[in-house]
Structure 1
Amino acid sequence: MPRPDVADAPGGGPTVAVWGVVRRPLGFLGSWWPWRCWAYLASGAVLGYPVLVVLVVLVGFGVVLSVVGIGLGLLLAAVAGAVPLGTLERRRLRWVDPHPVADPHTSLAGAGAAAWLRTRLRERATWREFGYAALLGPVFGAAGFGVITLLAFSAILIATPVLVWAIAPDTVMLIPGRAVTDPVEGLAGTAVGLVGLVVTAYAGALLSGAQVKAARLLLGPREEDGRVLELTRSRVRLVDAFEAERRRIERDLHDGAQQQLVALSMTLGLAEMELRKVPGAAGAAALVTRGRGEAKLALEQLRDLVRGIHPQVLSDHGLAAAVAEVALRHPVPVTVDLPVPRLPEPVETTAYFTVTEALANAAKHSGASHVGVAGRVEDGRLTLTITDDGRGGADPGAGAGLAGLADRVAMLQGRLIVSSPVGGPTELRVEVPCSE
């Protein structure tokens, strides 16, 4: 049977499930959407009540113990815990609505725990998530529990003839004082159960739609979060500006400096030929030969520099091929596992720059005998992991290298995580959204 199509749901409007009920009520019943709504509501009930208990305990004890100072930490834990819950709920929304809810928080890649907590407590989005956490159990959890209870009761009624047959000669009593002794009589219960199942499907869709609306209101970004939106716009502008500047430098080096060095090398070669014809000019010819060699060396270094800024293989064949080429030239053996498709240019450039910088650091400072580069694209995010078996001890706060990588990744709303205990191994993990 036909199902409500994702394309039928208007962006920013009702969820796909609710839109399917309105547009194709019969098709909705024959689709997977009722099951997805029931699963969404049931999981909300399972999650909501433990969250409610944790909030009551943290807030209750926090208020009671606030006079001795311990309670402040409990209250802060209650508020901060709403942030990962909000992330989980934004992911869970995809069960009933394919339109993702954007993360309203600023990216804090590489920030410490104290800085993270200070920033999150200042954001309005954190307090909206705390409000959603307070509603999840008593409101959404209760609604989900009611729908699942009705679903279970309808399933029992549908199975009435089978139950009557299975427990015979004992009887089943659907209505107080009136026993059902024959499976045929149980068909009336089956009919009632089917009606209840239809009602449960529509009720599940409507309740899911209401919860999605509330989740989008409380867990998504708002226009009033001006700083967050402006920061996002600033990041986009910075990425575009850096990319334009990179193209300009690459073009100037390729069309200007490289061509001039080639011309200089040819001119020195001609001068060398002429000087060798002049008696007594052997010393001058040797100097010209030396200058020509240095010009060739400078040209090779300049070509390596241009290739490092943005290699042609990255533009032509993508990230996997470009990293594989770098691995072949690396002094330390490198294993590459990058089964990734073509990605947006800013993402590929940032990922390539991160890998090359990490490989350079591993060769210079780690003393590693092997480096592994792995990456995957899942749920619209590129995850890269660069691991070496060196001595470890890399400190993101000790220099500008890792901090610069974190800033570059943060411009794309990604994050960089460094794990480098003394003695090794060192793992550099990069996560970058790769949606257009």
Structure 2
Amino acid sequence: MTVAVWVAMRRQPLGFLWSWWPLRAWAFLLTGTVQGAASLVVLAALLFVGVGLSVVGIGLVVLTGVAVLGVPLAVLERRRLLLVESVPLPDPHGSLPGAGATAWLRTRLKERATWRELAYLLIQAVLFTASGIGFVALLGISLILLATPLIVWAISPDTVMLMPGRPISDPVAALPGSAAGLVGLVLSAYAGGLLAGAQVRTAQFLLAIRDEDLGSRVVELTRSRARLVDAFEAERRRIERDLHDGAQQQLVALSMTLGLAELELRGQNPAAAELVTRARGEAKQALDQLRTLVRGIHPQVLTDHGLPAAVAELALRNPIPVTVDIDLPDRLPAAVETAAYFTITEALTNASKHSGADEVAVAASVKGEKLVLLVTDNGHGGADPAAGAGLQGLADRVAILRGRLIVTSPVGGPTQLRVEVPCSV
């Protein structure tokens, strides 16, 4: 990262004096000195209270608060950096919407950025405050010397002295003091630019986001997506169980009751018996549709017997002939089995509706701790994952498991879906 104030000083050393940069650097250093002094007082007070009360346990809570004290300071510091920088530093912390105080504290203590911000707090409270006080003294003395003729003219001559015992009675005689003050302002401009740049560089090193912060955020996002997928799969299974044990059984009972009613009415009221027969056929049709729906939500055969049996059953119901060659040494993890099954389901559906194929081949094996799944059809090709055919959703599902989906579908065919998923998920 570049430091804007240093770049300005290097490009135009003399023009720097007449630009807004010295004033911006001075404002940055003055506000930093006040902020650093306040941070030093708060830090010293919390450490004193925390150490003093540590014997009764409350002090440990206070000391824990000290550990995260750099987090709010860093928020203020990133905003204050805009005095001398045009591009704000991004926040390295991940957002925690809805998290309580305990969860927030636990998460922040695990993040390396929190400890870097605490280090910046210590550096600002001690080093930057001391250097800021020295700079304020230099700037203040320079301004006083620059205004010496005006001071001599405004107040009694006997109270204005360049040296002890040598009063100044004429404003003209105070011009050397103004010259010294002017030199001091020039020094203050360059010294302020250097000090401000040093603080900006320190902030960029300690407060900016790093690759490790991005890596931890990606890991947390991946875990979050995996938890959502697990919750979704659990909900799918609950719906499947409720439909199988509830609505499906009620439809079976309804069909049986209609059958008994048909027998009772057949000899007494043929017209009513015909209506009951029609109702029984509609109930049977509804039962078949419900069974298909339940099977599509989560097939019980996949849970009970694994991927080979589930795909074999799927192939029997597919309108296009399907050749299945699945060679697995053991049962796969549930998440991998589910992803593979629905990938095959989507591929067979697309082949039946869009490809014009008359043959589909499904092959799966484990190679190097990875499930390698191939679904190939002899259709006209041209499948596009971005065309909304469900392939993008499959790719997202596989990506959650740290796998990948490759679609090869030249115009004229054939179309092949290749899925690779680690079995260690």
TM-score after normalising by structure 1? 0.49
Matched residue, 2:41: 53
Q: Secondary structure at the match of 2:79?
A: helix
User: 1 CA distance for matches of 2:20 and 2:146?
Assistant: 20
Matched residue, 1:394: none
Q: Is the 8 A contact 1:104 1:228 kept in 2?
A: no
Matched residue, 1:41: 29
Label 1:165 to 1:97 Cα distance change in 2 as closer, same or farther (>3 A). same
The code of the aligned residue for 1:216 comes to: Q
Q: Is the 8 A contact 2:152 2:170 kept in 1?
A: yes
Residue 147 of structure 2, aligned match among 124, 147, 159: 159
Structure 2: segments with no counterpart, 5+ residues: 227-425
Q: What's the CA shift for 1:124? A: 0.8
The code of the aligned residue for 2:48 comes to: G
Residue 109 of structure 1, aligned match among 89, 97, 102: 97
Q: What's the CA shift for 1:78? A: 1.3
Q: Is the 8 A contact 2:28 2:84 kept in 1?
A: yes
User: 2 CA distance for matches of 1:107 and 1:26?
Assistant: 45
Matched residue, 1:134: 122
Label 1:177 to 1:22 Cα distance change in 2 as closer, same or farther (>3 A). farther
Label 1:233 to 1:95 Cα distance change in 2 as closer, same or farther (>3 A). farther
User: 2 CA distance for matches of 1:74 and 1:233?
Assistant: 31
Q: Does residue 122 of the first structure (1) align with residue 110 of the second (2)?
A: yes
Q: Is the 8 A contact 1:171 1:181 kept in 2?
A: no
Residue range with higher mean Cα deviation, 218-227 or 206-215? 218-227
User: 1 CA distance for matches of 2:157 and 2:195?
Assistant: 41
Number of matched pairs: 225
Q: Is the 8 A contact 1:106 1:228 kept in 2?
A: no
Matched residue, 1:216: 204
The code of the aligned residue for 2:54 comes to: S
Q: Is the 8 A contact 1:140 1:211 kept in 2?
A: yes
Q: Is the 8 A contact 2:36 2:125 kept in 1?
A: yes
- Describe how 1:188-207 pairs up with structure 2 within 5 A: 188-207=176-195
CA RMSD of aligned residues (A): 2.2
Q: What's the CA shift for 1:66? A: 1.6
Q: What's the CA shift for 1:171? A: 4.7
Matched residue, 1:62: 50
User: 1 CA distance for matches of 2:56 and 2:40?
Assistant: 25
User: 2 CA distance for matches of 1:22 and 1:233?
Assistant: 43
The code of the aligned residue for 1:198 comes to: V
User: 2 CA distance for matches of 1:113 and 1:180?
Assistant: 64
- Identical residues among aligned pairs (%): 55
Q: What's the CA shift for 1:77? A: 1.4
User: 1 CA distance for matches of 2:198 and 2:109?
Assistant: 28
Matched residue, 1:342: none
Residue 8 of structure 2, aligned match among 20, 23, 34: 20
Q: Does residue 73 of the first structure (1) align with residue 56 of the second (2)?
A: no
Q: What's the CA shift for 1:232? A: 9.0
Matched residue, 1:347: none
The code of the aligned residue for 2:19 comes to: S
The code of the aligned residue for 2:139 comes to: L
Q: Is the 8 A contact 1:164 1:181 kept in 2?
A: yes
Q: Secondary structure at the match of 1:225?
A: helix
Label 1:90 to 1:169 Cα distance change in 2 as closer, same or farther (>3 A). closer
User: 2 CA distance for matches of 1:94 and 1:148?
Assistant: 21
User: 1 CA distance for matches of 2:29 and 2:221?
Assistant: 36
Matched residue, 2:135: 147
Q: What's the CA shift for 1:92? A: 0.6
Structure 1: segments with no counterpart, 5+ residues: 1-11, 239-436
Q: What's the CA shift for 1:225? A: 3.0
User: 1 CA distance for matches of 2:222 and 2:24?
Assistant: 38
Q: Secondary structure at the match of 1:174?
A: strand
Q: 1 or 2 for the larger relative contact order (CA 8 Å, sep ≥6)?
A: 1
Q: Is the 8 A contact 1:154 1:196 kept in 2?
A: yes
Q: Does residue 84 of the first structure (1) align with residue 72 of the second (2)?
A: yes
Report the structure number with the largest CA radius of gyration. Answer: 2
Q: What's the CA shift for 1:184? A: 0.9
Q: What's the CA shift for 1:61? A: 2.1
- Describe how 1:390-401 pairs up with structure 2 within 5 A: none
Q: Secondary structure at the match of 2:19?
A: coil
Could you list the structure 1 runs, at least 4 aligned residues long, displaced by more than 6 angstroms after superposition: 232-235
Q: What's the CA shift for 1:191? A: 0.6
Q: Secondary structure at the match of 1:97?
A: coil
The code of the aligned residue for 2:176 comes to: A
- Describe how 1:323-362 pairs up with structure 2 within 5 A: none
User: 1 CA distance for matches of 2:221 and 2:105?
Assistant: 24
The one-character-per-residue Cα deviations of 1:159-183 (angstroms, maximum 9, x if unpaired) are: 1111111124425212234332211
